[in-house]
Amino acid sequence: GAVVSQHPSRVICKSGTSVKIECRSLDFQATTMFWYRQFPKKSLMLMATSNEGSKATYEQGVEKDKFLINHASLTLSTLTVTSAHPEDSSFYICSARDPANMGNEKLFFGSGTQLSVL
């Protein structure tokens, strides 16, 4: 089945540094990927929709300059948290849609990245 790989699974960084998270579709081409943020035992909040070859679409309230998204190829999207601060600490999850699968809404999720900013 379709697999989405997310890396790293856990990162600890100092306040003010930037962190890059990668999301790869391993056996399918994903023209669209989604980035979510999740707080402990809470639901997933959609941050942005990443479109291959074009600018990402951000949800209301999400800072574009803070959370940089690049979708340079059909199998890779990256989320960079710039100048991270403790309030950015969270679980970040990516997902991708496999257009070849039945049901256009079916998403495959990465395993998530736990970001801790000290």
Partner 1 sequence: TQLLEQSPQFLSIQEGENLTVYCNSSSVFSSLQWYRQEPGEGPVLLVTVVTGGEVKKLKRLTFQFGDARKDSSLHITAAQPGDTGLYLCAGADNQGGKLIFGQGTELSVKP
SS3 25: strand
Closest separation in Å from C-beta 34 to partner 1? 7
What is the size of the binding site for partner 1 (CB under 8 A)?
26
| Site for partner 1 contains 2 (CB under 8 A) | no
Two tokens, residue 72: 């340079």
Q: 48: closest CA among 22, 77, 73, 19?
A: 77
Question: Binding to partner 1 by residue 65, rule CB under 8 A?
Answer: no
Contact between 81 and 10 under an 8 Å Cβ cutoff? The reply is: no
Binding mask 23-62 for partner 1 (x = CB under 8 A): -----------x------xxxxxx--x-------------
β-bridge partners, 6: 23
Asked whether position 18 contacts partner 1 by CB under 8 A, the answer is: no
d(CA 17, CA 117): 9
The site for partner 1 (CB under 8 A) is made up of: 4, 6, 9, 34, 41-46, 49, 91, 93, 95, 97, 103-112, 114
